[in-house]
Structure 1
Amino acid sequence: MKHTLTFAALTFAAAAVTAQAAPADKSTAALLAADQSCAGLPTHAEFKAALQAAQKEKNAAFGLNMWGAVVNRAGIVCAVAFTGDNWGDQWPGSRIIAAQKAGTSNNFSLPKLAMATANLYSIAQPGGFAFGIQEANPIVPEHVYAGPTAYWGQANDPMVGERVGGFNVFGGGLPLYNAKGELLGALGTSGDSSCADHYISWRTRNTLKLDYVPAGLGPNGVDQIAFSGPWSQPVCGELKAHEAVVNSLPPTRKVAP
């Protein structure tokens, strides 16, 4: 009888623990699902089309093909694309860099303050107050080097659904804000000069209508690239040519009052 009562008591206790744990498990599942959500961000096809259009513009560039990546606010990769005919038509190493730039911009942007990776360059140099930032967040090799390579840049790219890690502090990473002014994540591009990467990201973001930027540390009070001052990066060639490109870029949108 004693053993029967003990077993019954244990069974009741286990059932009570299970009942208490069930809501927590559901809550955890909901949180995980929210982290993985790409709601409000472009699909692979939408992102690829916008990236290809931006790459064809006059960007004071070498005219090279590009990689691009989009992350959500949790830093999860939602899309990876390229502009060429296959994954080898652009620098393979730029696939990872594009994802790093997206992650970096997302990590250092806020709902009311956008941070372009181009605006991080100067402060990350020796003597700058953020020197060493690039070593603070290593990439996750198993997330970025997974194959087969035939999947790279496709809707099923192995980086999709993963956090890739890594900080990058030159042009190409921009945060994404919708028409309500909500920060949804960021995009990054790589494949040409860092200045051209910034311009291509800027044009891509504009095409996707995710450039309702609240404020930033670059020129005009947004997250524009600068070639002088505390939030600048080096110019990638002749200054006048790049200033002309910057002046030709579409302005960021404003949230309706």
Structure 2
Amino acid sequence: MNSKLVLGASLAALLNAGIVSADWDFAGGKGIGSACKGLPSHAALKTALDQAVSAETSGLNLHMWATIVSRDGVVCAVAYSGINRAAQWPASRVISAQKANTANSLSLDSSSASAGSGMNTGLALSTANLYSAVQPGGSLFGLQESNPVNTEAAYGGNQGLYGTPVDPLVGKKIGGVNVFGGGLGLYAAGQTLVGGVGLSGDTSCADHNIAWRVRNNLGLDHIHGVGGVSGDALRPDNIVYDIGADGKSAGGFGHPVCLKSTSGAELPAGIP
């Protein structure tokens, strides 16, 4: 039997079982059509994740979940490191998706510029940048309650497909706001924001570092010169460790230090 017919029949069966979103691209036999056009495939994300986990030695050195969402917040790929989906914290699958959604939803590129705004390169915000701002008295207090998780998408479908190319999250909007390290905007050439990536499975500081390396491995870190709050033009959305003994962030966007935290300056610099 023709391989394309077999693939089509298999996808149709998954659709009828409610495993695959109705947005699945049958014509192309992969992805979910235009919603994720130009974004990394599951295989590319998996490779980038495995490389990043091997390279990063901070935190607890645990296995991870990773999610990519499009600029519209549609989940495009979900992957994990380790031999199977039991090698990571189960909660981290949805947390990684939340982080991807948050970073994408709260970052901007030059398309946001207006006359006199002074923001012609956009604004990159990582989920790590939000920690202090959402605490009581912070400038963004309550933000974490503003966009609930799509629980049907998060917990529905065949669990055996979690982390595969046809993870039930793919093609759906996860929603949710997460306010600690692990989520980054994805910037293509020309400093164009195309989506977000989220990582979860270790300390929140290690999550940030591994997400950073995943983005770098994918070549979607064209962030040099994009606006940010880190004070580092080469790493505008990098984690900031400026919380003092009084528990307050000097700049308002700080993140707590974690076990075996390393300097953010050790992470690869973004490219123009």
On whether the aligned pair clears a TM of 0.5, the verdict is: yes
| 1:251 partnered with 2:269 | yes
Mapped contact 2:56–2:209 kept (Cα < 8 A): no
**Could you give the per-residue CA deviations for residues 176-210 of structure 1, whole angstroms, max 9, x where no partner exists?**
11112211000000000000000000001001110
State the match for 2:240 in structure 1.
Answer: 226
Q: Secondary structure at the match of 1:250?
A: coil
Q: State percent identity of aligned pairs.
A: 47
Residue in 1 that maps onto 2:29: none
The match for 1:84 is 82
Give how far 1:61 is off.
1.4
Structure 2 counterpart of 1:106, one-letter code:
N
Deviation at 1:147, TM superposition (A): 2.6
Contact 2:181 2:207 in 1 (8 A): yes
Q: Return the TM-score normalized by structure 1.
A: 0.81
Q: Partners of 1:216 and 1:38 in 2: how far apart?
A: 26
Residues 119-141 of structure 1, C-alpha deviations (whole Å, 9 max, x = no match): 01110001112111111111111
Distance 1:165 1:175 in 2: 15
**Distance in structure 1 (CA, Å) of the matches to 2:269 and 2:146:** 33
Please list every run of at least 4 consecutive aligned residues from structure 1 whose deviation after the TM superposition is greater than 6 angstroms: none
Which residue type is aligned with residue 154 of structure 1? T
2:50 pairs with 52, 70, 74, which one? 52
Partner SS state of residue 87, structure 1:
coil
What's the counterpart of residue 36 of structure 2? 38
Find the structure with the greater CA-based Rg: 1
CA distance in 1, matches of 2:228, 2:166: 33
Q: Say if 2:201 is the partner of 1:203.
A: no
Q: How far has the Cα of 1:84 moved from its partner?
A: 1.2
Q: Which has more helix, going by share of residues?
A: 1
Alignment of 1:136-151 (within 5 A): 136-151=146-161
- Given that 1:119 and 1:231 are in contact with CA atoms closer than 8 Å, whether structure 2 keeps it comes out as yes
| Residue segments in structure 1 that go unaligned for 5+ positions in a row | 1-33
Residue in 2 that maps onto 1:182: 192
3-state SS in 2 of match to 1:165: coil
Match for residue 216 of structure 1 among 228, 231, 247: 228
Shift of 1:242: 1.5
1:132 aligns with 2:142: yes
Question: Structure 2 vs 1, CA of residues 151 and 51 (structure 1 numbering), >3 Å: closer, same or farther?
Answer: same
Q: Deviations over 1:205-238 (max 9, x none)?
A: 0011100012211140311100113111101035
Q: Note the alpha carbon deviations across 1:146-195, whole angstroms, 9 max, x for none.
A: 13111000000000000111100000000011112211000000000000
Please provide the CA RMSD for this pair: 1.5
Deviation of residue 36 (structure 1)?
A: 5.1
8 Å Cα contact 2:59-2:259 kept in structure 1? no
Cα distance in structure 2, aligned partners of 1:35 and 1:125? 39
Residue of structure 2 equivalent to 1:71 = 69
2:24 maps to what in 1? none
- Following superposition, the deviation at residue 35 of structure 1 comes to 9.1
Aligned length: 217
Contact 1:134-1:169 within 8 A present in 2 as well? yes
TM-score, scaled to structure 2: 0.77
Aligned residue in 1 for 2:7: none
